[in-house]
Chain A
Amino acid sequence: MCVQTVGLLAAAIERENISTTSISLLREITSVIRPPRALFVPYKMGFPLGEPNNAPLQHQVIAAGLALLERTDVPVLENFVNNERNMNK
C-alpha cells in the first residue's frame, strides 16, 4: 500500500504546480494509480533504493529518478537499469 500512497501523494503535489518523481516497488500498482513520473526498481519491498549503506547504488537510483523530472509525457513509468551491475557481467 506504500506504493499506492506514494502515487497519490505525487499527484496531489504535482497539482500544486510542483514537479514530482517517485520510486515504485510494484509496477502492477503504479501502472494503475498513474502518478506523473515513476521509476520502477528491481528491489524487494522495504528496499526502494537498493541496499542499505550502499551510497553509490542509492545515488544511481536517485539520479535515474531525477532524470524523469524533464519528462512531460505523463504518466511516465520507467524501469531502473543498474549500469554498474551490467558492466560487471
Chain B
Amino acid sequence: MATYDDLLWSHRLFMKGYPFGYYAVDPVPCTPLGKPLSEARIALVTSAGVHLPEQTGFDHSIKGGDTSFRAIPNIVVTNTLLESHRSSGFDHTGIEADRNLAFPLDRFRELAAQGVIGELNHRHFSFMGSIVMPRKLIDETSVQVAQMLRADNVDAVFLTPA
C-alpha cells in the first residue's frame, strides 16, 4: 500500500509541505450516470504520461509541470504506447511491461466485448501527472479535455494515475 512513508525521502518532504488543500475541489460536482453501464460510452483518462510514438513526448523541462495532453485513438495497439513520465517518485517497470497497468484499454475492450459497458469512445486522453503548479491544468487543459469528451457524447470516464 502506498502512503507518504513509502515515497523517497525527498518526495515525502515535498508532499508533506505541499498545499494540496489549496486545490481542493469545492463544491464537488456530481453527475449521475443516468443509464445502464451496458449502454454507456466510456473514455479513459490517465496521468501516466503515455503517448503515441509519433506524438511529441511530455516536456520535462517546464517548471511546475507540463499541463498539456495527448489524445490516444481507441484503435491504438496498447503496448506500442510510449511512457515519458518524468517522475522518479514511482517504479516505472510495471507500466513498461504492461501499459494496461495504468491505461487499461485492453481490459475495457474486453468489457465492451462482454457487454459490460456499451462502447468505448473513439479517443482517450493522457496527461503527465507531475504537475506541481496545476493552475493552467485547472483553468485550461482539463476544461478542454472535458469539453471534447462532452462533444463526443461520452457518458462516463475512468481515470487512472501512475
Binding site for B on A (CB under 8 A): 1-29, 32-36, 42-53, 55, 58-59, 62, 65-66, 69-70, 72, 74-75
Contact B158 A33 (CB under 8 A): no
Choose among A15, A23, A58 the residue that contacts B146 (Cβ–Cβ < 8 A): A15
Contact B127 A36 (CB under 8 A): no
Query: Chain A residues near B87 (CB, 8 Å)?
Result: 1-2
Verify if B155 is at the interface (C-beta below 8 Å from A).
Answer: yes
Binding site for A on B (CB under 8 A): 1-4, 6-7, 15, 20-21, 23-26, 28-34, 37, 45-48, 65, 85, 87, 89-95, 97-98, 100-102, 104, 106-108, 110-111, 116-117, 127, 129-132, 134, 137-138, 142-143, 145-147, 149-150, 154-162
Asked, given contacts A47-B91, A52-B97, whether A11 binds B25 with beta carbons under 8 Å apart, the answer is yes
Query: Chain B residues near A28 (CB, 8 Å)?
Result: 3-4
The CA of A1 and the CA of B127, in the complex, are separated in Å by 12
Contact B94 A52 (CB under 8 A): yes
17 additional contacts, CB 8 Å, given A58-B101, A69-B37? A2-B48, A4-B129, A5-B127, A5-B134, A6-B160, A8-B138, A9-B127, A19-B31, A19-B33, A22-B158, A33-B20, A35-B159, A42-B2, A48-B101, A55-B110, A58-B107, A59-B111
Query: Chain B residues near A48 (CB, 8 Å)?
Result: 48, 101-102, 160-162
The CA of A48 and the CA of B65, in the complex, are separated in Å by 21
Q: List 21 A-B contacts (CB under 8 A).
A: A1-B130, A3-B129, A3-B161, A6-B160, A8-B134, A14-B30, A15-B29, A18-B149, A18-B154, A20-B31, A26-B3, A27-B3, A28-B4, A32-B20, A34-B26, A48-B161, A52-B98, A55-B100, A69-B33, A70-B33, A74-B29
